[in-house]
């Protein structure tokens, strides 16, 4: 998932059924999946300081994983200084792949690698050295605006 979980969906099938080609709503499951974050709280769902989505703790993660017969939720969306952070007895991992976020945070980035036996390896990395950064040219393929 991008961010986290939602009280509006108990199963992966319910999440998969959400229509995603739309403007992000201000509330509801689509909003929650984009904005919710794990926190060290107990007792269900909490109000998110982001102003959208929720915060949730280990009890929510444990129940979701058990209901869906999965071992771990992999998410991003939240800066982690060492590139990744496992929480709730490894029931959830946050992987942050943008080193030195906004050129000022000083954080590492990470990529989660899974082998054929689902053995996990976290590859962490720092930012590109300033001397090697290159600004894309104006005619770069990255300048095209998507048509959705």
Q: Give the pLDDT score at 146.
A: 63
Structural contact between residues 54 and 70, judged by C-beta atoms closer than 8 angstroms: no
The pTM for the full model equals 0.84
Query: Could you read off the pLDDT tens digit of each residue along the chain, which spans 148 residues?
Result: 788 999 999 999 999 999 888 898 899 999 999 999 999 998 899 999 999 999 999 999 999 999 999 999 999 989 999 999 999 999 999 999 999 999 889 999 999 999 999 899 999 999 888 888 777 676 666 566 666 6
Write down the pLDDT at residue 133. 78
List 55's β-bridge partners, or say none: 37, 46
What is the torsional sign of CA 63, 70, 51, 17? negative
Q: Are the C-beta atoms of 107 and 83 separated by less than 8 Å?
A: yes
Cross-sheet strand order for the sheet of 84-87 = 73-75, 92-95, 84-87
pLDDT confidence of residue 62: 97
């Amino acid at each position: 998932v991008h961010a986290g979980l939602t009280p509006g969906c108990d199963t992966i099938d319910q999440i998969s059924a959400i229509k995603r080609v739309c403007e992000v709503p201000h509330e509801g499951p689509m909003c929650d999946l984009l904005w919710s974050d794990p926190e060290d709280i107990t007792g269900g769902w909490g109000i998110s300081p982001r102003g959208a989505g929720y915060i949730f703790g280990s009890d929510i993660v444990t129940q979701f994983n058990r209901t869906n017969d999965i071992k771990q939720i992999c998410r991003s969306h939240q800066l982690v200084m060492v590139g990744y952070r496992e929480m709730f007895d490894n029931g959830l991992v946050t992987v942050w792949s943008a080193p030195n976020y906004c050129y000022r945070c000083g954080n590492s980035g990470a990529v989660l690698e899974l082998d054929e036996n689902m053995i996990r390896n976290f590859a962490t990395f720092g930012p590109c050295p300033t001397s090697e950064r290159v600004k894309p040219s104006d005619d770069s393929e990255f300048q095209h605006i998507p048509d959705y």
